[in-house]
Structure 1
């Protein structure tokens, strides 16, 4: 693993402390003088031994100044490194990621800035070598368009700072996700995969993107899904958006439309009655256009057709019981079972009462009984009647009030053409303006009658 660099000048030159230099010189003075040998005392080396000796003192300075050396001494602040040159170099211990792991004999890579400084020591930099190696690593990832793991360190204006392999990179807010992230602080400390989208070596500027990776993953998932999609298969999706006409469901790379008419065999006013954004739901592929990449979904298709053989289950004249689930100006809807509703039209609510709106006698949530009047499977409609629970009073009215019967009633309404007389609760009779007098010409009933006035009259006809 590449070491993490500190926030300091990578190109700062490091020199050994004077104490270490004096110590090194003193050590040289205190060393016992070697016994002089003549030319004939030099041991004879084989060609292989000579090559090994030569290679052990040969350094590679072709790799942009990066060379290897061996740690030969460790002080309280620095590590002395033998580079195989005339002079040693030294590295501050602070340049090591883990100072405890620094031991004599360890090999270390440094950047050789100069073979010898004014005081006779090699001028080297471990930080610069680390940076150059990291930059080459990041540059290679950028060139090959490969992802790299990074850790989100802190929040800055316009985005986040990510530690990528030991160097800091800028992650713009627009490149974090598909949509703007409201809480950036929640990402701190997370390890994410990013791609380098911009590099500037001179300014040491690195810009990365997480969104690019997310888009690539989404595209791969989309292509895989498109290859597997078939009409009639069942799968799971996540509710992405809700509109008045339906629901958009994320199938994992591509969105499908679940129309409101395909959500339930029963009637619903809005998709939000059944689902919410973020819900994981099971759906069926109703239709798929591979060219336009459009997918139509259905939920009700997962269940048997509710209206199949419904006319046998609810024959005409059958008494049913259900709950009022909706009220409109023209009637009230009664839920008979899951996905099956019947309509009680306003005209079928009472034999005798003049109902202007269903809410006068019914409310949502009321449990009522009704009579099945008709079942239309093709139109998926059931007509119900409330007044049919009681006998039709008009069928017995002829027996109760035969033609010629004298009755007393109360004036309920006066119109230009006559007066409506309440015979009994819910049953009115009409006295036409032409039947007010044999001799007088009546222009308006108000000249003879007043509202709520009791009047005697005779039954002329019953329809």
Structure 2
């Protein structure tokens, strides 16, 4: 058996030993991450052996309380080699920087692989939000959601999945986006929805937006329009009456245009059309009860059953014809009784009448107020053409301005009547179809034009009156008994260059000659010129008559003088 003596072992020279020693320092570069083993845990530091010629120390404050409590000698750690030897020859390590570098490496990997990461919004800053994803990252306002977010402060403290859209380790900048993930989710849902969507399908959705003409429903990544006319078989004033944003709703797909991507939805189509069989259910003449659901200037809409409404026109609300607006008779929510006047199922229209449920006072008007009846009533209103007089509830008569006076020219009814005044009148005629009752005020007395005026005012007589009106064509003269006469401009007798307004004024006394009395036309024609000519003629006649008397007196005096002279001669 052979033995190996010490002299037989290979001899190691100093160079070999130095090389082996240097080998222990391989791969230890400052600014890199390496792995080490915990060899001691102190109050203010943790000693780690990374296989270097000396151990390194990590300040204890780089560990959390939980980490320190769980840390044991022999545990292996990832550490950052800051310096191989500081001024004191110590190995300087950092767990904190190792953790951050590891995070940056993970973030760069996530960015490269386009994966998401959870992030907690920690504060609001200019242009967006600050997010904690292990390091501080910037979330621009435009990347928070698919739509602008009004309450950004309400997001602080919330955690969302985010996607890194920009990263720069050297500058320490990270930009993240939540919108990108939402768009990806929406697109996936959209493709799923579109692949299964078909007309007639019932589908769940969420009210996304409300407009005057309808509501947009999110069906899962794609929006459909629920038009206001397809919301209910009944009347809908505004979509907000039925829906609010975020409401869940089940709708029917009415139409899907694959080229444009437009989807029309319906809600009322889920139930049967209530107008089916309406004509048989509500024949003309049927009395119905319903609820007033809306008012317009021209009438009131009454719901007979859900989805079936009829219109009571304002003219069909009362026999009195005094309803200026439906709100004076009914209010929304009132239960009313009405009669079916007309029905058009094709146009979905039913005409109703409320007044038809009460007796029509005009059915008995002819028997109660025959022509020639003298009545008493109260003036209810005045117009330019007459005065309306109320006889009883629902019955008004009109005294036309032409039936107010036999002789006087009435310019406005207010010259004779006042609102609320009690008056007597005579029934002239009745139009039951048009529901009109004509009254006369002047008919209370006998027509003076039959005998009185023709006997009192004769052609050829001169008469004095007052100027009541000056017109372009002549002068109106007020005579006794509220009778008016007209002096036509051709009978005034003025020179061509003289205007009537310069010669006459209202209220002036004028004497003129009656040249025509027209009983049928009820007109008296006067002439100022003829009266003046007659006056001039009388003056001439009187002058001639006075001249003849003087000649006779002088003749008698001359004869007597001759007789005296003759007597004197004879003597």
Same fold (TM over 0.5): yes
Q: State the Cα deviation string for residues 329-368 of structure 1 (Å, max 9, x = none).
A: 2111112222221111122122244322222322223221
Q: Which range moves more in the overlay, 421-430 or 299-308?
A: 421-430
- Pick aligned residue for 1:137 from 101, 106, 109: 106
Query: Following the alignment from structure 2 to structure 1, what is the Cα–Cα distance between the partners of residues 221 and 389?
Result: 72
Query: Following the alignment from structure 1 to structure 2, what is the Cα–Cα distance between the partners of residues 126 and 202?
Result: 19
- Pick aligned residue for 1:254 from 201, 218, 222: 222
Query: Following the alignment from structure 1 to structure 2, what is the Cα–Cα distance between the partners of residues 309 and 122?
Result: 96
Structure 1: where are the runs of 5+ without partners?
1-37, 44-52
**8 Å CA contact 1:398, 1:462 repeated in 2:** no
Query: Following the alignment from structure 1 to structure 2, what is the Cα–Cα distance between the partners of residues 415 and 461?
Result: 20
Q: Which range moves more in the overlay, 110-119 or 327-336?
A: 110-119
Query: Following the alignment from structure 1 to structure 2, what is the Cα–Cα distance between the partners of residues 273 and 375?
Result: 28
With over 3 angstroms needed to count, the CA separation of the structure-2 counterparts of 1:380 and 1:61, relative to structure 1, is farther
Q: How does 1:48-447 map to 2 (within 5 A)?
A: 65-97=32-64, 98-113=67-82, 115-116=84-85, 121-164=90-133, 166-402=134-370, 406-410=373-377, 412=379, 422-429=390-397, 444=410
Query: Following the alignment from structure 2 to structure 1, what is the Cα–Cα distance between the partners of residues 105 and 414?
Result: 110
With over 3 angstroms needed to count, the CA separation of the structure-2 counterparts of 1:376 and 1:64, relative to structure 1, is same
**8 Å CA contact 2:30, 2:82 repeated in 1:** no
- 3-state SS of paired residue (1:375): strand
- Give TM-score, length-normalised by structure 2: 0.64
Deviation of 1:130 after TM superposition, in Å, equals: 2.5
Deviation of 1:428 after TM superposition, in Å, equals: 4.1
Deviation of 1:241 after TM superposition, in Å, equals: 2.3
Query: Following the alignment from structure 2 to structure 1, what is the Cα–Cα distance between the partners of residues 136 and 204?
Result: 40
Q: State the Cα deviation string for residues 126-155 of structure 1 (Å, max 9, x = none).
A: 333322222111111111211111223344
Q: Which range moves more in the overlay, 358-367 or 191-200?
A: 358-367
- Give TM-score, length-normalised by structure 1: 0.77
Deviation of 1:270 after TM superposition, in Å, equals: 1.7
Q: State the Cα deviation string for residues 264-321 of structure 1 (Å, max 9, x = none).
A: 1111222222222332222222222222221222221122111111122222211111
**8 Å CA contact 1:411, 1:450 repeated in 2:** no
- 3-state SS of paired residue (1:292): coil
With over 3 angstroms needed to count, the CA separation of the structure-2 counterparts of 1:395 and 1:154, relative to structure 1, is closer
With over 3 angstroms needed to count, the CA separation of the structure-2 counterparts of 1:104 and 1:57, relative to structure 1, is farther
With over 3 angstroms needed to count, the CA separation of the structure-2 counterparts of 1:87 and 1:336, relative to structure 1, is same
Structure 2: where are the runs of 5+ without partners?
11-19, 433-571
Deviation of 1:42 after TM superposition, in Å, equals: 8.4
Q: Which range moves more in the overlay, 315-324 or 104-113?
A: 104-113
With over 3 angstroms needed to count, the CA separation of the structure-2 counterparts of 1:106 and 1:418, relative to structure 1, is closer
Query: Following the alignment from structure 2 to structure 1, what is the Cα–Cα distance between the partners of residues 125 and 387?
Result: 85
Query: Following the alignment from structure 1 to structure 2, what is the Cα–Cα distance between the partners of residues 264 and 326?
Result: 15
Aligned length: 412
Larger relative contact order, structure 1 or 2 (CA cutoff 8 Å, min sep 6) = 1
With over 3 angstroms needed to count, the CA separation of the structure-2 counterparts of 1:462 and 1:123, relative to structure 1, is closer
Q: State the Cα deviation string for residues 382-418 of structure 1 (Å, max 9, x = none).
A: 111111112333333334445x553324374677877
With over 3 angstroms needed to count, the CA separation of the structure-2 counterparts of 1:434 and 1:130, relative to structure 1, is closer
Look at both structures and tell me which one has the larger radius of gyration over its CA atoms.
2
**8 Å CA contact 2:30, 2:81 repeated in 1:** no
- 3-state SS of paired residue (2:106): helix
